Structure 1
Amino acid sequence: MKKYIFTIAGISGALLLASCSNEGSAAGDDAIVEVNGESISEQDLMDDLKDNYGESALNNLVQQKVLNDKAEDLDISDKQVTQEFKSMKEQYGIDDNDQFLQTIQEHMGVQVESVKAFKEQYVKPQLVVDELGSQDVDVTEEEMKNYYEKNKDDLMQVEASHILVESEEEADEIIKELEGGAEFAEIAKEKSIDTASGESDGELGYFGKGEMTEAFEEAAFNMDTDSISEEPVETEHGFHIINVTGKKESYKELKDEIKQALEAEEQQDGQQVLNELMQNADINVENEDYEDWVQTYTEASEESSGS
Structure 2
Amino acid sequence: MKKLYWMIGMVLVIGLVMTATFMQGKNVASVNGEKISEDELHELLVSQYGSEVLETLITEKMIKQEMKKEKVEVSKAELEEEMNAYMESYGGEEAFQEILANNGVEMSTIEKNIENYVATKKLIEPRIKITDDELLAYFEENKDSYAQAEQIQASHILVEDEETAKEVRKKLEAGEDFGKLASEYSTDVSNSETGGDLGFFGRGEMVQTFEEAAFTLEIGEISAPVKTDYGYHIIKVVEKKEAKEAVYEEVKQEIKETLFDSKLETEYATWLDEKFEEYEIKNDLKS
Report the TM-score when normalising by structure 2: 0.58
Alignment match, 1:75:
73
1:154 aligns to 2:147 (yes or no): yes
Alignment match, 2:105:
113
Residue 161 of structure 1: how far off its partner (Å): 9.0
Alignment match, 2:125:
132
Residue pairs, 1:260-271, within 5 angstroms: 260-265=254-259, 268-271=262-265
Residue 39 of structure 1: how far off its partner (Å): 0.4
**Cα distance in 2 between the residues matched to 1:138 and 1:112:** 44
Amino acid at match of 2:94: D
Identical aligned pairs, as a percentage? 17
The question of whether the paired residues in 1 share the 8 Å contact of 2:30 and 2:36 is answered with: yes
1:259 aligns to 2:253 (yes or no): yes
Amino acid at match of 2:80: T
Deviations, residues 48-90 of structure 1 (Å, cap 9, x unaligned) = 1111221222223333444555667443322123223334555
The question of whether the paired residues in 1 share the 8 Å contact of 2:83 and 2:111 is answered with: yes
The question of whether the paired residues in 2 share the 8 Å contact of 1:165 and 1:171 is answered with: no
Structure 1 counterpart of 2:269, from 255, 275, 281: 275
| Number of equivalent positions | 273
The question of whether the paired residues in 2 share the 8 Å contact of 1:163 and 1:202 is answered with: yes
Residue 35 of structure 1: how far off its partner (Å): 1.0
**Cα distance in 2 between the residues matched to 1:216 and 1:124:** 50
Which protein has the larger Cα radius of gyration, Structure 1 or Structure 2?
A: 2
**Cα distance in 2 between the residues matched to 1:218 and 1:231:** 13
The question of whether the paired residues in 1 share the 8 Å contact of 2:165 and 2:232 is answered with: no
CA distance 1:185–1:239, change in 2 (3 Å) = closer
Alignment match, 1:302:
none
**Cα distance in 2 between the residues matched to 1:204 and 1:69:** 50
CA distance 1:191–1:263, change in 2 (3 Å) = same
**Cα distance in 2 between the residues matched to 1:169 and 1:66:** 67
Amino acid at match of 1:6: K
| Structure 1 gaps, min length 5 | 292-307
Alignment match, 1:50:
46
Residue 34 of structure 1: how far off its partner (Å): 1.6
CA distance 1:29–1:153, change in 2 (3 Å) = closer
Residue pairs, 1:1-307, within 5 angstroms: 5-6=2-3, 10=7, 12-19=9-16, 21-22=18-19, 26-67=22-63, 73=70, 74-90=72-88, 94=91, 96-100=92-96, 102=98, 113-122=105-114, 125=117, 128-129=120-121, 132=125, 135-139=128-132, 154-155=147-148, 180=177, 182=179, 192=188, 212=205, 230=223, 257-265=251-259, 268-281=262-275, 282-290=278-286
Residue 151 of structure 1: how far off its partner (Å): 5.1
**Cα distance in 1 between the residues matched to 2:168 and 2:248:** 32
Report the TM-score when normalising by structure 1: 0.55
Residue 273 of structure 1: how far off its partner (Å): 2.1
The question of whether the paired residues in 1 share the 8 Å contact of 2:74 and 2:115 is answered with: no
| Structure 2 gaps, min length 5 | none
The question of whether the paired residues in 2 share the 8 Å contact of 1:161 and 1:203 is answered with: yes
Residue 32 of structure 1: how far off its partner (Å): 2.3
Deviations, residues 176-226 of structure 1 (Å, cap 9, x unaligned) = 699635469978xx96466xx99999999888898x56859968x9599x9
Alignment match, 1:295:
none
CA distance 1:171–1:227, change in 2 (3 Å) = farther
**Cα distance in 2 between the residues matched to 1:192 and 1:173:** 17
Amino acid at match of 2:28: I
Question: What secondary structure sits across from 2:23 in the alignment?
Answer: coil
Residue 36 of structure 1: how far off its partner (Å): 0.9
The question of whether the paired residues in 2 share the 8 Å contact of 1:81 and 1:127 is answered with: no
Alignment RMSD, CA only? 5.9
CA distance 1:185–1:88, change in 2 (3 Å) = farther
